[in-house]
């Protein structure tokens, strides 16, 4: 009788073991390779082979399937209808823009347009389009298609604008000064010269117009697809890119396959790319180590050091393209006092924050603009950590007996601020050293954004990431007087700075623009509307089988040249 | 029996109305402006206002609730703000994923839990009993996320026996029909994929099923002990029945009622509470769906998701009640 029960348990155990054993020899290989570091690479490669053999009979030998794991799903595959990085990471594979960025920087290079002309007054842009390019649905790519796409974004009434379905092309509005009919909207006319030549006529010059043209948010969709899918275009992207869209299981995976007719011969190398959602950071790393995935985004900075020394894995960093900062509400007492703002600036130990919370994957910041950007002012003097100076300034400001300040802390982690809570505590300790008593205010993310926009805060934390590689996106968004009540949560308005930013925006001479931005940064540093904390470098890891992978600072890189070794 | 079921069904109506009211209120009491969240940190005040208008979130609450219920009655769960698609058309894969996971977790929990409980009762105070009850205690107190991470670490990373995440091999996806992947692979008569989906189920099912397993084991043990000491079992024993017959034919049936209650309740809890397991194992289930919606302030999805979970919970309770009556016709309400 006793045997019977033992039997039942044995059965259950056996079942689990059988399933486990079904992983084939690969499992054993990877396990043993864990112990023998030297052969791990080989073991991993073999494992993915075995997986393919035992579980995927349909796959021919040598098929290149890349699994890219990330923390969250895409919101929409109609890139301009969202500002979400997880969305453009996928759409940049499917849709192409007129221009493209270099693989590791925001330098422009040809995209769907092989050449372009700019008129002397900066008002006319002519793009010469690639010929013989077809969309994935077989229709021709031409100037009409470009025009349709731009009109759809700019005109809320457009038949393919899908405004009734809550589509908002906010990125278009931000980058081109609003929408059709708005005062600041810069694109006046779009003229189709012929099938492969298109002209944009601007109402006023825009210094970063070409940079915008390289953004993945403005990838060109097949007009026939708008007709076919209507508002469901966000789940059925059809472009000219290196990969074609196959399927999307929400919160699970997005499958793309090679575009056999891609406009560049011999590319892409991969047959299939799968973007998978693996929300848990630790699970993602385990999946990478066990060979289930090839690339993982969003590595914890603390895990990075380990990866570097691990056989079979590669560590990558993205270029600095963000700023994490502590903003003041300069309209409100007591922070309307510049001396107090300076004092706080000197009292905060930025290096300690970078070391403690970013595992060294961050550099302290002295400007709101990352150093790689055009017009970065390296002559601005940083507010070095200096308690004596801070106390002196505090006394000058009239607060020798100390004061109380509220600091609003972000409830969510962001690449530019991986641990907001602890950051706030470090700041609290730093300021306590000079007699400032900081109360930390906690608020949910959505109301946090709302209320800081309305100026309810005294001091708050936030950050900003670049999208088009232009300084305007940082400096104007964060500190131009026109953006008070939206992205300028400092309520900072200096007419001189505004003028400089406007001039820079209207100029098309990039050297001249750089000079304006440098001057603006000097003034901003003097006024000190924010404590610029750090520029972080997000880390990610891949398996060593992945070749030619170059992470782009925008977080969206085409995988056109990526290959897998087996 | 029929009258009983009908009565129970009628009783559901006020419950369901109450639930819509509660989900609606909770969601609207959450602070924060969804329009702001949708448009991101860069949004202008006008853009936010425009979007609020199109979304209808400026209307007074009673009007919004009225619209919500009218739509519900027409089978319209609303449109997701995030994906812009009909919730009714996108929710099924999530429900199926959760059902599949819960089903296997419960199978695991019941199979191990009931048998361990029976043996413990039968061999009361034996080493097995002590060991089983010790593990049951550990099982109840073990945090799910910790167990899940340990499983991944040992069985996926170190031993490489089982996959660490997901429902299928993404290099070779399953063509979904019902979205129950094991079933779908069976329909396709594709046994290698059946194995693949079962392998993906092992670790999350154990993580999810461990707590209910422990609860069921303890419940079965105490319930069995009570029954085994009762007079009628003594009679059966006196008649010379074998031990196996005594336990499985005579004792188990009477010991089952509280166990069925626990199983029913635990199934409901698992369906709604699988969020942690689903997140750690990247299981795209209903818990994840609602969780993502909450971080996005996707009101319609939060409402419908919670409502769907609540309705499932209520129906499971209904089934449990009906089962009582089948097991023991003396029970009346």
Three-state SS annotation for A232-279 = HHHHCCCCCCCEEEEEEECCCEEEEEECCCCCCCCCCCCCEEEEEECC
| pLDDT given at position A8 | 55
Which of A277, A450, A453 has its CB closest to that of B282?
A277
CB atoms A168 and B50 under 8 Å: yes
**Average pLDDT in the B135-157 region?**
89
The predicted model gives A265-282 an average pLDDT of 92
Do residue B36 and residue A9 have CB atoms under 8 angstroms apart?
Answer: no
Q: Is A283–B281 a contact, with Cβ atoms under 8 angstroms apart?
A: yes
Q: Which residues of A touch B282 (CB under 8 A)?
A: 252, 276-280, 283
Q: Worst-scoring range by mean pLDDT, B26-40, B245-259, B266-280, B295-309?
A: B26-40
DSSP code of residue A140: B
Whether residue A522 is predicted with pLDDT greater than 90 in this model: the reply is yes
Q: Is the pLDDT of residue A42 over 80?
A: no
Confidence band of A6 (pLDDT split at 50, 70, 90): low
Chain A touched by B85 (CB under 8 Å) = yes
Token pair belonging to A408: 């609003």
Q: What average pLDDT does the segment A399-416 reach?
A: 88
Spell out which residues of chain A touch residue B249, defining contact as CB-CB under 8 Å: none
- Do residue B115 and residue A9 have CB atoms under 8 angstroms apart? yes
For residue B47, the chain A residues in CB contact (below 8 A) are 168, 170, 173
pLDDT at A560 > cutoff 90: yes
Burial class (CB in 10 A: 0-12, 13-18, 19+), A204: middle
- Kindly report the average pLDDT of chain A as a whole number: 86
Mean pLDDT of A432-457: 87
Indicate the pLDDT class of residue A15, thresholds 50, 70 and 90.
low
Mean pLDDT of B58-82: 84
Residues 219-238 of B with CB under 8 A from A: none
Measured CA to CA, the distance from residue A175 to residue A179 in angstroms comes to 10
SS (H, E, C) A172-218: HHHHCCCCCCCCCCCEEEEEEEECCEEEEEECCCCCCHHHHHCCHHH
For β-strands A65-70 and A272-277, DSSP reports them as: parallel
What average pLDDT does range A29-47 have in this prediction? 38
Retrieve residue A257's tokens: 């396959």
Query: CA-nearest residue of chain B to A283?
Result: B280
A486 CA: distance to closest CA in chain B (Å): 5
Q: Which residue of A has its CA nearest to B53?
A: A166
Instruction: With CB atoms and an 8 Å threshold, state whether A287 touches B156.
Output: yes
- Chain A residue at shortest CA distance from B277: A280
pLDDT tens figures, A165-175? 778 888 898 88
For the cut 70, the answer to whether the pLDDT of residue A214 exceeds it is: yes
Highest averaged pLDDT of the listed ranges A347-351, A398-402, B169-173: A347-351
For residue B156, give the nearest of A83, A232, A290 by CB distance: A290
CB contact under 8 A, B85 and A232: yes
For chain B positions 164-193, those within 8 Å of chain A (CB to CB) are 164-167, 169-173, 176, 192-193
d(CA B87, CA B135) in angstroms, rounded, equals 42
The answer to whether the Cβ–Cβ distance between A249 and B284 falls below 8 Å is yes
Residue A1's pLDDT is 42
**Pairwise pLDDT comparison (B81 vs B94), residue with the higher score:** B94
- A119 SS3 class: coil
Between A20, A54, A453, which is nearest B162 by CB?
Answer: A20
Q: Given B32, B40, B153, which is nearest A286 (Cβ)?
A: B153
* d(CA A55, nearest CA chain B) in Å: 6
What ipTM, to 2 d.p.? 0.83
- B112 preceded by a cis bond (ω within 30 of 0): no
Question: What 3-state class would DSSP assign to A541?
Answer: strand
Residues of A in contact with B299 (CB under 8 A): none
- The pairing of beta strand A65-70 with beta strand A295-296: parallel
Q: Which residue has the tokens 């853009």?
A: B47
Q: Does B146 touch chain A (CB under 8 A)?
A: no
Q: A173 vs B93: CB contact, 8 Å cut-off? A: no
DSSP letter at B86? B
Which region among A40-44, A227-231, B19-23, B97-101 has the lowest average model confidence (pLDDT)?
A40-44
B156: chain A residues, CB-CB within 8 Å = 286-287, 290, 292
Cα distance from B175 to chain A (closest Cα, Å)? 10
Residue of B nearest to A289 (CA): B157
Q: What is the pLDDT of residue B44?
A: 67
Residue of B nearest to A233 (CA): B84
Q: Which two tokens stand for residue B169?
A: 């091999």
B242 interfacial to chain A (CB closer than 8 Å): yes
Residues of B in contact with A277 (CB under 8 A): 282, 284
Residue with tokens 């079965």: B220
pLDDT at A58: 39
Asked which of A48-52, A536-540, B19-23 is least confident by mean pLDDT, the reply is: A48-52
Is the pLDDT assigned to residue B170 strictly greater than 70?
A: yes
Instruction: Write out chain A residues lying below 8 Å of B44, CB-based.
Output: 173, 486
A42-51, A75-84, B148-157, B188-197: the lowest-pLDDT one: A42-51
**pLDDT at residue A34, rounded to an integer:** 36
From the list A23, A174, A487, the residue facing B161 with the nearest CB is A23
Local confidence band at A412 (pLDDT 50, 70, 90 cut-offs): confident
- Does residue A501 register a pLDDT over 90? yes
Check CB contact of B243 with chain A, cutoff 8 Å: yes
The alpha-carbon gap from B28 to the nearest alpha carbon of chain A, in Å, equals: 13
The pLDDT of residue A492 is 93
Nearest residue, CB atoms, A251 vs list B39, B156, B289: B289
Q: Across residues B319-327, what is the average pLDDT?
A: 81
Report the residue of B84, B115, B287 to disrupt the A interface, i.e. the one with the largest count of A CBs within 10 Å.
B84
Contacts of A287 in chain B (CB under 8 A): 156, 163-165
Asked whether the predicted pLDDT for residue A32 surpasses 90, the reply is no
B94 contact residues in A (CB cutoff 8 A): 250-251
Any idea what the Cα angle at residue A176 is, between residues A170 and A181, rounded to 5°? 85
CB contact under 8 A, A283 and B280: yes
Output B81 or B134, whichever has higher pLDDT: B134
Nearest CA in chain B to A74: B83
Contact B171 A283 (CB under 8 A): no
d(CA A168, CA B274): 34
Classify residue A242 as exposed, middle or buried by CB count within 10 Å of its CB (0-12, 13-18, 19+): buried
- pTM beyond 0.90: the answer is no
How much is the pLDDT for B101?
A: 92
Which of A6, A35, A55, A288 to probe by mutation at the B interface, max B CB count within 10 Å?
A: A55
Asked if A276 lies within 8 A of B44 by C-beta distance, the reply is no
Residue to mutate among B170, B245, B302, with most A CBs inside 10 A, is B170
Burial class (CB in 10 A: 0-12, 13-18, 19+), A211: buried
Alpha carbon B47 to chain centroid, angstroms: 40
Determine the Cα–Cα distance for residues B43 and B23; give it in Å rounded to an integer: 29
Using CA atoms, how far apart are residues A209 and A176, in angstroms rounded to an integer? 8
Above 50 in pLDDT, residue A28?
A: no
Q: Is A8 exposed, middle or buried (0-12, 13-18, 19+ CB in 10 A)?
A: middle
Q: Are the C-beta atoms of A161 and A233 separated by less than 8 Å?
A: no
Q: Do B243 and A47 touch (CB under 8 A)?
A: no
pLDDT tens digits, A102-131? 998 999 999 999 999 999 888 999 999 999
């Amino acid at each position: 009788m006793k045997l019977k029960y033992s039997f039942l348990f044995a059965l259950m155990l056996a079942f689990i073991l059988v399933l486990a054993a079904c992983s084939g020899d690969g499992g054993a290989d990877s396990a043993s390779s864990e112990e023998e570091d030297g052969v791990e690479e080989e073991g991993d490669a073999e494992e993915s082979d075995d997986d393919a053999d035992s579980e995927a009979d349909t796959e021919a030998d040598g098929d290149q399937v890349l699994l890219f794991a990330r923390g969250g799903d895409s919101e929409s595959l109609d890139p301009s209808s969202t500002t979400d990085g997880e969305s453009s990471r996928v759409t940049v594979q499917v849709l192409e823009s007129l221009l493209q960025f270099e693989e590791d920087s925001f330098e422009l290079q040809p995209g769907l347009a092989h050449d372009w002309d700019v008129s002397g007054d900066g008002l006319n842009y002519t793009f010469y389009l690639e010929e013989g390019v077809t969309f994935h649905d077989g229709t021709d790519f031409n100037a009409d298609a470009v025009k349709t796409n731009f009109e759809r974004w700019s005109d809320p009434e457009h038949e393919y604008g899908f405004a009734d379905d809550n589509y908002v092309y906010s990125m278009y509005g931000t980058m081109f000064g609003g929408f059709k009919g708005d005062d600041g909207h810069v694109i006046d006319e779009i003229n189709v010269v012929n099938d492969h030549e298109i002209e944009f006529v601007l109402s006023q010059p825009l210094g970063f117009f070409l940079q915008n043209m390289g953004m993945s948010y403005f990838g060109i969709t097949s007009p026939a697809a708008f007709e076919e899918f209507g508002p469901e275009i966000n789940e059925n992207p059809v472009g000219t890119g290196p990969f074609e869209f196959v399927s999307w299981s929400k919160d699970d995976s997005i499958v793309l396959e090679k575009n056999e007719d891609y406009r560049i011969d011999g590319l892409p190398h991969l047959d299939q790319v799968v973007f998978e959602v693996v929300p848990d950071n630790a699970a993602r790393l385990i999946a990478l180590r066990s060979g289930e995935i090839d690339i993982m985004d969003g590595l914890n900075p603390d895990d990075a050091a380990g990866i570097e020394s691990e056989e079979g894995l590669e560590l990558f960093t993205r270029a600095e393209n963000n700023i994490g900062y502590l903003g003041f509400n300069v309209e409100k007492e007591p922070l309307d006092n510049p001396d107090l703002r300076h004092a706080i600036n000197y009292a905060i130990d930025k290096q300690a924050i970078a070391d403690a919370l970013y595992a060294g994957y961050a550099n302290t910041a002295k400007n709101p603009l990352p150093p790689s950007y055009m017009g970065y002012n390296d002559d601005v003097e940083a507010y070095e950590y200096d308690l004596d100076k801070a106390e002196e300034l505090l006394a000058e400001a009239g607060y020798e007996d100390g004061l109380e300040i509220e600091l609003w802390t972000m409830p969510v982690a962001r690449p530019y601020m991986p641990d907001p809570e602890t950051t706030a505590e470090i700041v609290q300790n730093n300021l306590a050293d000079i007699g400032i008593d900081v109360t930390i205010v906690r608020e949910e993310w959505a109301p946090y954004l709302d209320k800081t926009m309305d100026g309810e805060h005294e001091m708050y934390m936030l950050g900003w990431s670049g999208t088009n590689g232009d300084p305007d996106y940082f400096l104007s968004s964060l500190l131009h007087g026109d953006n008070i009540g939206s992205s300028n949560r400092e309520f900072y308005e200096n007419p001189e700075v505004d003028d400089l930013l406007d001039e820079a925006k209207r100029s098309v001479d990039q050297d001249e623009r750089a000079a304006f931005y440098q001057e603006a940064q000097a003034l901003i540093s003097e006024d000190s509307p924010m404590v610029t904390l750090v520029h972080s470098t997000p880390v990610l890891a891949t398996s060593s089988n992945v070749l030619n992978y170059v992470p782009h600072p925008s977080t969206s890189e085409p995988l056109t040249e990526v290959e897998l070794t087996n | 029996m029929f009258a009983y079921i009908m009565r129970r069904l009628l009783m559901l109506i006020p419950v369901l109305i109450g639930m819509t009211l509660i989900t609606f209120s909770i969601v609207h009491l959450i602070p924060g402006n969804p329009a702001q969240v949708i448009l991101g940190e860069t949004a202008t005040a006008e853009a936010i206002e425009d979007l609020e208008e199109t979304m209808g979130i400026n209307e007074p609450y009673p009007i919004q609730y009225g619209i919500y219920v009218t739509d519900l009655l027409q089978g319209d769960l609303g449109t997701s703000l995030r994906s812009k698609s009909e919730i009714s058309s996108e929710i099924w894969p999530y429900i199926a994923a959760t059902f599949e996971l819960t089903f296997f977790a419960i199978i695991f929990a019941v199979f191990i839990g009931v048998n361990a409980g029976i043996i413990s009762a039968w061999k009361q105070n034996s080493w097995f009993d002590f060991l089983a009850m010790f593990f049951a205690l550990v099982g109840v107190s073990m945090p799910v996320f910790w167990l899940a991470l340990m499983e991944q670490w040992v069985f996926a990373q170190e031993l490489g026996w089982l996959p660490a995440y997901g429902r299928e091999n993404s290099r070779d996806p399953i063509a979904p029909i019902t979205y129950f992947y094991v079933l779908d692979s069976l329909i396709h008569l594709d046994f290698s994929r059946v194995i693949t989906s079962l392998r993906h189920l092992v670790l999350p099912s154990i993580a999810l099923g461990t707590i209910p397993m422990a609860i069921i084991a303890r419940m079965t043990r105490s319930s069995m002990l009570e029954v085994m000491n009762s007079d009628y079992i003594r009679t059966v024993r006196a008649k010379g029945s074998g031990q196996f017959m005594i336990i499985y034919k005579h004792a188990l049936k009477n010991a089952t009622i509280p166990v069925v209650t626990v199983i029913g309740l635990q199934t409901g809890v698992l369906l709604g509470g699988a969020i942690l397991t689903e997140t750690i194992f990247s299981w795209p289930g209903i818990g994840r769906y609602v969780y993502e919606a909450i971080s996005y302030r996707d009101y319609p999805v939060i409402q419908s998701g919670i409502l769907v979970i609540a309705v499932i919970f209520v129906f499971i309770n209904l089934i449990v009640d009906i089962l009582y009556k089948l097991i023991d016709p003396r029970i009346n309400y």
